[in-house]
Structure 1
Amino acid sequence: MIGSVFSPYYAWARRSALADPEHFCAINVALYGKDRRAWAMTERGRQQLYRSADTLMIGPSSVLWDGNTLTVHIDERGAPLPKRIRGQVRVHPRALTKQRTPLDPEGRHRWWPIAPESRVEVALSHPGLRWSGNGYLDSNDGDEPLEHGFRQWDWSRTKLRQGSAVLYDMTFLDGTQRALALRFDDRGAAAPFEPPPRTPLKTTPWWRIPRATQADPKQGAEILETLEDTPFYARSMLRTSLLGERVTAFHESLSLTRFASPWVQMLLPFRMPRITSGHQGRG
């Protein structure tokens, strides 16, 4: 993340002056499993940042693109528990897209499904973990903080028998809403389809974050597992129905109203520590 969207330090800096986004950078790593849960999102300053057309380095971690494969070298420590997270993730896109989609009417927030169909390989030494399977790569960027444009959104990505689908269900700051539904084939070509009806889900167990998804009419959806339950954000696995298929979906719910509240901003540094010393090598 360049100009880390959820950084409390970036938010505090913007209140007093025009903040340089390159001074608020982070690589976020999240692992889920019975005995391998870990989270890292350490923020670093511009002296620990290097980027070029094919390289991004933030502190000891890096992202490299060789024209065919995106390789993420991870060397981080978790928070609040300082677990070591070290290893590599390789993303092999089946196809690349160039289509950027504006999320809001003014076009201040944009979403780019870079590689909607990919093969992903994970090889970690800390903790010891290997995995490979279907994956997805996208990017979001904007000209203003998210909380200036949105109250909340629900997002999901679903693997289908052929291709995949991504759903957005957004509520803007003025209360208006927009639903977005795109289906991707194995070559990455996108085709919009009519967004399914909104289906409420249970709030998260601890922080009571509201959740909803879009599902085929009269089919409903259920939460298989809540992966992240934070004061403003939830990450979940769903069992749902989409385009006539029973599927498992990766889902997130984001409350920007919660995120912008002072009490949440005070809690964020416990999971998002900041390191400003040191210099980034260029290799």
Structure 2
Amino acid sequence: MSADGKRAVSVIAFIGSVFSPWYRWSGRRDPENHVCINVATYGPGGRFTMTDRGRSALRQTQDSMTVGPSGLHWDGRQLVIDIDEVSAPPIISRVRGQIRVTPSAVTDRELLLTPDGAHVWRPFAPVSSISVDLAAPGWQWDGHGYFDANFGTRALEEDFAYWTWGRYPARGGSTCFYDAVRRDGTELGAGIHFGADGTAEETPLPDKRPLPRSLWTVRRVTRGDPGTQPRQVMSMLDAPFYSRAMVETTLDGEKTTGVFEALDLRRFASPLLKPMLAVRVPRRARWTF
């Protein structure tokens, strides 16, 4: 998020592009043949890019990952993301430039999202600064952000019916909440506060507070102090099964604005949704460096 709260960006690098219909139609047997660097910018002139690429587009080293024309590398102090993508309809245009993510510290924590460890959340740097320099007017700014990862050995919709996640700047660091309803009826509720030095401690979970449903009527709840009402500050991404937004909530008496996500996996599992997604997620099987 930008320091003034008017713009934001998200970048997700996939090996096994979990939200790609092409990966689902392939039977999810070959994750390295469905790779992607998904870039979305939010605010004036925002764009969405998510191209599913084949294995010839993937290169990896210990400190870098390249997918076709875009890539990420760790230089020992920063995660440097070089972007050269084409946005999806309805506005097709180039999205080019560089983003630098500078962690205040790197944590040693991870959270098992299922008891058997089939799904794991790894918050590498929940307290970070970012510098955005894209080739578009107004898209040169600094702000705060985070760097995390999810790993899984099964499809999300196999194990989850619904989840929400939020990351909010708080008390000199950031507080993250993970709430999920698993397919077997059990629930996950986790709250962790991360200090700027990389320390992490579980935090008591405030009550769940409802937010208005998204434009696609995805149900949304986040955490907040008793007697307070979270509110959406900016809609970031609206899909039939997914909502991402800037949300303001109150934690321990402190108002804070962070990034919130809600994911309806029952909807995502519908085969009727996949052709709709294919319009926004093109497949480019071949790439030559």
Is the shorter-chain TM-score for this pair beyond 0.5, marking a shared fold?
A: yes
* 2:26 alignment partner, SS class: helix
Deviation, structure 1 residue 83? 1.2
Q: Which residue of 2 aligns with 1:188?
A: 198
Structure 2 letter corresponding to 1:186: A
User: Which stretches of structure 1, 4 residues or longer, exceed 6 Å deviation after superposition?
Assistant: none
Any residues of structure 2 matched to 1:118-197 within 5 Å, and which? 118-126=128-136, 129-197=139-207
Whole-Å separation in 1 of the counterparts to 2:255 and 2:200: 21
| Distance (whole Å) between structure 2 residues aligned to residue 67 and residue 264 of structure 1 | 41
Counterpart check, 1:223 vs 2:232: yes
Residue segments in structure 1 that go unaligned for 5+ positions in a row? none
TM-score computed with the length of structure 2 as normaliser: 0.92
Distance across 2 between alignment mates of 1:161 and 1:178: 24
The reply on whether 1:77 has 2:86 as its aligned counterpart is yes
Q: How does 1:48-127 map to 2 (within 5 A)?
A: 48-80=57-89, 81-126=91-136
Aligned alpha-carbon RMSD (Å): 1.2
TM-aligned CA distance change 1:63 to 1:127, over 3 Å: farther
**How many angstroms apart in 1 are the aligned matches of 2:150 and 2:143?**
23
- Unaligned 5+ segments in structure 2 are 1-13
Q: Distance in 2 between matches of 1:204 and 1:101?
A: 27
* C-alpha separation in 1, matches of 2:73 and 2:193: 28
SS in 1 for 2:105: coil
Instruction: For 1:100 and 1:161, locate their aligned partners in 2 and report how far apart those are by CA, in whole Å.
Output: 21
Could you tell me whether the CA contact under 8 Å between 1:84 and 1:126 is conserved in 2? Answer: no
Q: Secondary structure at the match of 1:262?
A: coil
How far does residue 127 in structure 1 lie from its aligned partner after superposition?
Answer: 5.5
**What is the total number of aligned residue pairs between the two structures?**
275
Aligned partner of residue 177 in structure 2, secondary structure: strand
TM-score normalised to structure 1 length = 0.94
Task: Give percent identity, aligned residues only.
Answer: 41
SS at match of 1:19: coil
Tell me whether 1:5 sits opposite 2:15 in the alignment. Answer: no
More displaced stretch, 127-136 vs 58-67: 127-136
